[in-house]
Structure 1
Amino acid sequence: MRTNLFHIVLLSIFLTIGSLKLSAQETGTKSIPVPAEKQKTTLPPAKKELDTVVRIDEVKVTVNDTNKKKKSGLDAIIKRYAEDYEKVDQVKKELELYNKAELHYKDIELKSGKIIMKYDTDEIFAGRIKDSLGNYSQYPYFKQGNNIVEADSIHFNTKTKKARIWNSRSDQGEFRIKGEITKRENDSVYYIKGARFTTSKNIEDPEYYFYTNKIKFVPGKKVVVGFTNMYIADVPTPLALPFAFFPMSDKATSGLLIPTFGNNNNQGYFLQNGGYYFALSDYYDLAVTGDYYTNGSYGLRFQSSYSNRYKYSGNVYIRYENIINGERGLPNYQRAKNYNIQWSHTQDAKANPNSRFAASVNLGSSKYYQNSLSMDNIGSRLNNTLSSSVSYSKTFQTVPQVNFALMATHNQNTNTQVINMTLPTLQASVDRIYPFAPGDGPKKGIIKNINIQYNVKGENRIATTDTLFFKKEMFENAKLGMQHNIPISTNFKVFKHFSVSASTNYQETWVGNTIRKEYNSDIKKDTIINLKGFDSFRTYNFASSIGTTIYGTYSFGENKKIQAIRHVMRPNISYTYTPSFEKYYDTYDSDATGKMQKEYSRFESGMYSAPGRNYSNLIGIGVNNTIEAKVRNDDENDPDAEPKKVMLLNNLSFNTSYDMAADSLKWAPMRVSTGTTLLKEKMNINVAATFDPYAINNEGRRIDMFNIDNGGSLFRMTSANVTLNYAITSEDNKAGNKNKDSQTSRNGGREDDLFGRATNLNDSRTSLFDEDEEDLSKEDDKTKGGFFNAKLPWDLRIAYSLTYQNNNRENKISGNSIMLSGNFDITPRWKMGFSSGYDFVQKGVTFTQLRFERDLLSWRMDFNWVPTGTNTYWGFFIGIKSSVLSDIKWDKRQLPDRQLQ
């Protein structure tokens, strides 16, 4: 192990002893109460409880006395109880309680098998007692304020505040501490002899602990320790220090972050995640970490979290990597500079109900995740997009209500390196106004239901690439525009069962960029001239629809397993009228003679494209169906249980349209889609297909002839897609487990493990085991570490996709792949996870990752392996789980061989 573990041992002693206050009267601000599990409060009814005030008269002293006795006595009420007996001896000035004894005096609460209080000398003794078999029981439990100690015996002076405690046991944060002898000298100094501390749940028989023979502890100031040694399974290890001195503080403090050492094939030896933590304030912090590789590669990271309770919270993550492959001057030399910026901000809903600010930013180099050497990015290498959004919205509580929003968005394709941004987008709307309906009256009929809205949207769109991001050229081709929409709509019923809706929409578009096309005789080509300046166009349309709902139920009988099947059908017919806006189109000479002319619109390269030139008179036809079954509930525990509803087909829909204004190909292809859930709603199946009624010619173009008239079927299936998702665990009431790795989710990756799980070997808290799983430390000794015939927890996720294409009679499967991921327990302490898949079209295995983990109670051991592909790597880790000792670890890894892109 590395030598920096010595420093970690010292740090852990500091963190442990820094909060150790075993028998003082002062209450520490950072102490964590430990509940009394050994003895419960057993104060009896009033007839056994005695509030006693014992007064000791002042002792008279003669003149010849050389030693004057001080005034002694109790100055507060004592509440006490004992199951066997309680005795007050006025001669010895003693109060004795035996068997399940309790004593409450001032702020002191003491429970033990036996308690003796000498109120003449202000001393309290507490100890355990033996049962009939000679075993000790009823260990002392001492509480003063929030300070709690369990021990074998306690001797405490209520006046001088001095105390001596034998075999004390207490919890301080994540640590469990046991000291052979603890002595409190005064209000500010403690001495501990034979102390051992650990994060193990079993303080009596821990799998590891740190032992030191001498400790001097001054709360809030310093800790001085003697020789300290780490023990594993009660065997001393070479990890030891002769002595140490530590300053103390109850507040978060800045400090060094210990790096991880390793090596890989291309960059050589490295130090990763070393740096400095800045505890800037109670509201925000900053961690600066970096990596260094012996071939000159390096990485820098700045991470800050901030929070203001009941107002907002968030974090900022800035990452930069300079990666070098090969040797300078050789043909294989490569160098890549990549960066990534993440920002997440959330406002508390209670902070301001009428305004809200939110941010979710993930932008940077397109190849950052593909080239990154950090294990945090393993689950994100297959990401194809990066997206960001920063928004501010406000609602004005007027009549009508006005909504306002200002946002900036970013979308980046990591394959093409194309970036589309809006800086900014302005949106505003005025709530619905019913001009013909009374303010508090019902809205019935075609007239009273007429409503008007107003919406406006303004944008500044930027299309650029990685290489021009935030450079001068990026802003030169920005496009400005604004759209105003005034929709007017109404709805009403006809013939009681038919719902009718009608609407018209007026839209006015303002743009700041237009074009002009002309023929350039010098180069003998058409040229496009970009023009800047204000221009506008106006469009409108009309739409209406009528629909109803038809119910049908077929009963099989209450004695049948399937009692009934219910079919709900929702047919709908719509009509849309869109006029032609030819007035916004111009012509230009496309050759030198001027005889050949072409049409174009000056708005066609603008932000919102050109208005429609074709007149449309469209009738849409759609039918939506749901089919469900009523199934008998065969619950033996509840014979009167209601029947269950099972969905057979969810949203079986048929949609097509007919354009009355078209001169040919009036029917649009029919789209059919449906979905259902199976296996207790753990499997989702979705099917979609497109059917074209028209035939195609030898060139693959649609012709104005029905396919059935061309010797084919009624419809020609041009495409189809089937997706299946299945998630299951060993517990019937749970779906498949989700990957809780928040960094992968923030990177834009999947929340499940189908694309692999990010593996941060620098964080010992990252585990395959769920936090809510059964506590393994409570297992029976017969099953520890071995195979067992009881509970075998597991979870499995399957995703399957099949795509068929037949647009031009190619009749081929364009996509056919399956992905699987899961985790299962081999033994109570061994867990395995995997992520893999197979592409049946490309005939190859997709990204595969194998994960193994061994739970060692206070420790954890991991092995992660990607055996195939371009990202092959393996990593081994063993370390302490506790966050305060997370740097006590050892890891070895073989990183992927990165091919810089």
Structure 2
Amino acid sequence: MRLLLLLLLQPLPDTAVTAPDTGKVDIVYYGARLVRFLAREERVVLLDSAWVRYRDMSVYADSITYDIRRHTLSAVRKTSAGESALVRFRTATEQVTGTELHYNVDTRRGMMRHARSQVENGWISAREVWLVRERVLNALNADYTTCDLPHPHYAFFGPRVKLFMDDVAIAEPVILRLGRIPVLPAPFWLVPVASRRKSGLMPFKVGSATDQGYYAKGISYYWVLNDYADITFLADIMTRRGVQFRTEGIYIVNPYSRGSVQGSYIREFWNPANPDLVRYSFNLSTASKITPLTDLDIQAELISDTAYAPDYAEDRLDWLKQEVYSYGALTHRFRGLGRANLRAERHTYYMRHYDYQLLPAASISFNTRTLPLGWNITPSAGFSRRLEKSDSAGTDTLRAQRLTPSLSFNLTSPSYPIGTIEISDRLNFSDSRRSYRNAPLSHTQTLSHELGLGTSQKLIGIFNTSEAVSWNWTDNLTDTLPPEPGLTFSLGSGFSLFRVFSTRALNLAGILHTVSPNLQFYYEPKITPSGVFGRPDLLHPDITTLQFFLRNGFQAKRATTKEKFDLGTVNFSTGYDLRQHRLSPVYATISTRPLLLIPKTDSGPVRRRFDLNLDGNLGFRPESLRLSDDYQLLTSFSWTALRTDTIRHQENGLELRLNHTLGKNLNMLTGSVSFSFAGWRLGLNSIGYNFTRRQLTDYSITLWRDLHCWEALGTVSGLGKQWRWDFEVRIKKLPDVRFGKSLFRTFLP
């Protein structure tokens, strides 16, 4: 018996690699520098760098004792000369370290003292941890923290904790401690510790506000419905308003559907100014592929009043929200036939007291069909019903409805010696009804028709020419006046010239300059209304003009990488009225990014980028020899100079963004700048200054400090004459756990 026992327990050489035959017998592998066999006690004692492997479980310790009869092992650490060797218990998915371990191999249960284990985004440590069943732990006097220091800055402490590995930790009760100082208790809490999304309670914040009183905001439960959707239920309790209920949901089922929904509701029971006031908001956004050929897009917004968002929202953008927009669009593609669209839309402008609806708008476009002789036709049809309401005095003063059906088609010929011929035809009908307060109903019906014919050629491979003629007429069916016809002829010609300037400056291989002059001629004869077509007088023009365009494009090529990039364009345009013998204003436009010539540094820990965009237009009036008033120059500049400290995981440097708009009665500067150094970041997140009015329009200043696992944030922001300030200290990996101005508002202004 003893011989058999010794054979079974004979340790394998360190270099041996033997796969356990789990189908017949479970083998326990072990090793150490010193192995002692206690045959009478049926125990094996492993000393000095001991290890044991059984199935997917491994134990490493200074000394391990294995009881063969009871199938239990015990491991302890040894402390000597100031060095500690912790017991490590490892499975395929978890690792726990501690000072003492007792484990039953058969039942797979055990306990460890002074245990510590890393979970998603943090660490859990406890005085005792009991493995009650696979992947389920009971812990006594446990701490959870995301701080990796030996003495964490903070921890969530629970006398009794049940931990479901890669799932959730349940503590009864739980206390947030800063260092060893208890700060905030709760009767129980659920802390997600999973690498995947898990349902559970989320942290909330408490504080006070002048208009809301004492509050607890963000009391929430996060519910994971499945792998594709989740929803969060929230409640905000305010002593001067009431209880606001909110919900936020999101779903992603790629590639078939994705969307989100947000809603809120409050009945202000405790509002002394207006008790029992009901306020709500609703937002829905979804994009779905109902079938492989059918798409549905919906965006819906609904709000009870314009003041609801500024009163409750913490997002600064909502301060300016004075309109809501909703639409729904259904698109279906018919194989071999075409596409149909059905759309409903509503847009409300609260400040303008204006609202319009498209209810509905429909269109169908057919696929291109080939006709005899190689011609192609593309027909389409549409219909819209537009409803409008406008009010400038506080009551409804205008209601309007316009029905607009339309038919159109495009004909395209094959390539002829004279070029490709294109024919377009469109027929529109409009039925408009408008009613004003204390005024009779106004009813108008209009029929319009547009017919166009055009062709284009490339002569001798250089000149691009085009010819077109269009005829249109409009008839007001509710009056006795004849239709208003119109006839337009146009001719156009242009070409392009290229030249390469060789240069080695700035590491360039050359610059390509493309110049494209273009000349357009427009002629509209006088037409006397008569019948459907009227009587055109081709020899007496009503409008006859020449339009001239000169386009310049610049492209550069780097010598090393052979990369081509556009430097910009400079364009000129003018016109001449042949009938009145008057030269139109000369307009010049420029669009360029000159700093692209400077190579960027974006490798390793260093990032240096410069960018400058210039977009402008300018007009010159020949008759007065003065510049026109409709000039504008848009300038955008960005500069990034950052160096990443890979040891401290910090970025040091400067980031600058500036935008300037210059025009008639307009001189506006907006931008942002941030400076980071040694764990500090000072940012002017946004600033706007109107030089014309000499007024600061808005600003937002942030001071951020890295506190290892914490971060401190202070902000001062203003919009117009309104301003606010705030500060908070929050956990980096748990940003919902924060302490800020709202918590201490009783003592602060």
Three-state SS of the structure 2 residue aligned to 1:792 is strand
In structure 2, the gaps of 5 or more residues are 1-10, 455-465, 467-491, 533-540, 597-609
**Counterpart in 1 of 2:331?**
393
**What letter matches 1:347 in structure 2?**
S
Cα 1:860/1:506, change in 2 over 3 Å: same
Structure 2 counterparts to residues 314-393 of structure 1, below 5 A: 314-319=259-264, 340-347=281-288, 352-362=291-301, 364=303, 367-368=306-307, 372-382=310-320, 386-393=324-331
Cα 1:684/1:171, change in 2 over 3 Å: same
For 1:542, which of 437, 441, 453 is the aligned residue?
453
Say how many residue pairs are matched.
672
**Counterpart in 1 of 2:355?**
419
Cα 1:125/1:148, change in 2 over 3 Å: same
Q: What's the CA shift string for 1:481-505, capped at 9, x where partnerless? A: 12222123468698xxxx9765332
Q: Which structure has greater strand proportion?
A: 2
**What is the TM-score when the length of structure 1 is the normalising length?**
0.63
Cα 1:546/1:428, change in 2 over 3 Å: farther
Q: What CA distance in whole angstroms lies between the structure 1 residues aligned with 2:253 and 2:193?
A: 23
**What letter matches 1:652 in structure 2?**
V
| 1:389/1:408 contact within 8 Å kept | yes
**What letter matches 1:726 in structure 2?**
F
Q: Does residue 794 of structure 1 match 2:654?
A: yes
Q: What's the CA shift string for 1:52-73, capped at 9, x where partnerless? A: 789xxxxxxxxxxxxxxxxxxx
Cα 1:631/1:171, change in 2 over 3 Å: closer
For 1:727, which of 638, 641, 645 is the aligned residue?
638
Q: What's the CA shift string for 1:817-854, capped at 9, x where partnerless? A: 11121333253145444321221100111211212223
Q: Does residue 271 of structure 1 match 2:140?
A: no
**Counterpart in 2 of 1:181?**
128
Structure 2 counterparts to residues 770-781 of structure 1, below 5 A: 779=648
Q: What CA distance in whole angstroms lies between the structure 1 residues aligned with 2:20 and 2:242?
A: 76
Cα 1:515/1:115, change in 2 over 3 Å: closer
Q: Which moves more between the two structures, 842-851 or 818-827?
A: 818-827
Cα 1:569/1:490, change in 2 over 3 Å: farther
For 1:123, which of 64, 72, 77 is the aligned residue?
72
Cα 1:46/1:718, change in 2 over 3 Å: same
**What is the TM-score when the length of structure 2 is the normalising length?**
0.74
Three-state SS of the structure 2 residue aligned to 1:200 is coil
Deviation at 1:342, TM superposition (A): 2.3
Three-state SS of the structure 1 residue aligned to 2:630 is strand
Q: What CA distance in whole angstroms lies between the structure 2 residues aligned with 1:154 and 1:395?
A: 66
Cα 1:86/1:477, change in 2 over 3 Å: farther
Q: What's the CA shift string for 1:550-598, capped at 9, x where partnerless? A: 2112324x58966533211233345667788976999xxxxxxxxxxxx
Deviation at 1:507, TM superposition (A): 0.6
Q: Does residue 75 of structure 1 match 2:17?
A: no
**Counterpart in 1 of 2:742?**
892
Q: What's the CA shift string for 1:725-752, capped at 9, x where partnerless? A: 12332249xxxxxxxxxxxxxxxxxxxx
Deviation at 1:359, TM superposition (A): 2.7
Q: Does residue 675 of structure 1 match 2:568?
A: no
Three-state SS of the structure 2 residue aligned to 1:892 is helix
For 2:710, which of 859, 874, 879 is the aligned residue?
859
Q: What CA distance in whole angstroms lies between the structure 2 residues aligned with 1:585 and 1:291?
A: 73
Three-state SS of the structure 1 residue aligned to 2:70 is coil
Q: What's the CA shift string for 1:43-100, capped at 9, x where partnerless? A: 999952245789xxxxxxxxxxxxxxxxxxx931345566x57787767655666676
In structure 1, the gaps of 5 or more residues are 1-42, 55-73, 438-447, 517-522, 587-613, 633-640, 694-706, 733-772, 781-789, 805-813, 896-901
Q: What CA distance in whole angstroms lies between the structure 1 residues aligned with 2:726 and 2:555?
A: 50
| 1:462/1:478 contact within 8 Å kept | yes
Report percent identity of matched pairs: 15
CA RMSD of aligned residues (A): 5.1
Q: Does residue 819 of structure 1 match 2:674?
A: no
Q: What CA distance in whole angstroms lies between the structure 2 residues aligned with 1:372 and 1:568?
A: 52
Q: Does residue 688 of structure 1 match 2:617?
A: yes
| 1:338/1:368 contact within 8 Å kept | no
Q: What's the CA shift string for 1:243-278, capped at 9, x where partnerless? A: 8699999996687985633123xx362536356648
Q: What's the CA shift string for 1:654-713, capped at 9, x where partnerless? A: 3345677xx5477654443221113346221101123445xxxxxxxxxxxxx1xxxx33
**Counterpart in 2 of 1:141?**
89
| 1:50/1:79 contact within 8 Å kept | no
**Counterpart in 2 of 1:785?**
none
Structure 2 counterparts to residues 284-323 of structure 1, below 5 A: 284-285=230-231, 287-290=233-236, 292=238, 294=240, 301-308=246-253, 310-319=255-264
**What letter matches 2:259 in structure 1?**
G
Cα 1:718/1:455, change in 2 over 3 Å: farther
Q: Does residue 482 of structure 1 match 2:482?
A: no
| 1:514/1:532 contact within 8 Å kept | yes
Q: What CA distance in whole angstroms lies between the structure 1 residues aligned with 2:721 and 2:153?
A: 40
**Counterpart in 2 of 1:261?**
207
Cα 1:182/1:631, change in 2 over 3 Å: closer
Structure 2 counterparts to residues 285-684 of structure 1, below 5 A: 285=231, 287-290=233-236, 292=238, 294=240, 301-308=246-253, 310-319=255-264, 340-347=281-288, 352-362=291-301, 364=303, 367-368=306-307, 372-382=310-320, 386-398=324-336, 401-413=337-349, 415-435=351-371, 451-465=376-390, 477-489=400-412, 503-513=422-432, 530-531=442-443, 536-543=447-454, 544=466, 545-556=492-503, 564-574=510-520, 620-630=547-557, 641-642=560-561, 645=564, 647-648=566-567, 650-657=568-575, 663-664=579-580, 669-680=585-596, 682-684=611-613
**Counterpart in 2 of 1:803?**
663
Q: What CA distance in whole angstroms lies between the structure 2 residues aligned with 1:169 and 1:830?
A: 34
Cα 1:158/1:383, change in 2 over 3 Å: same
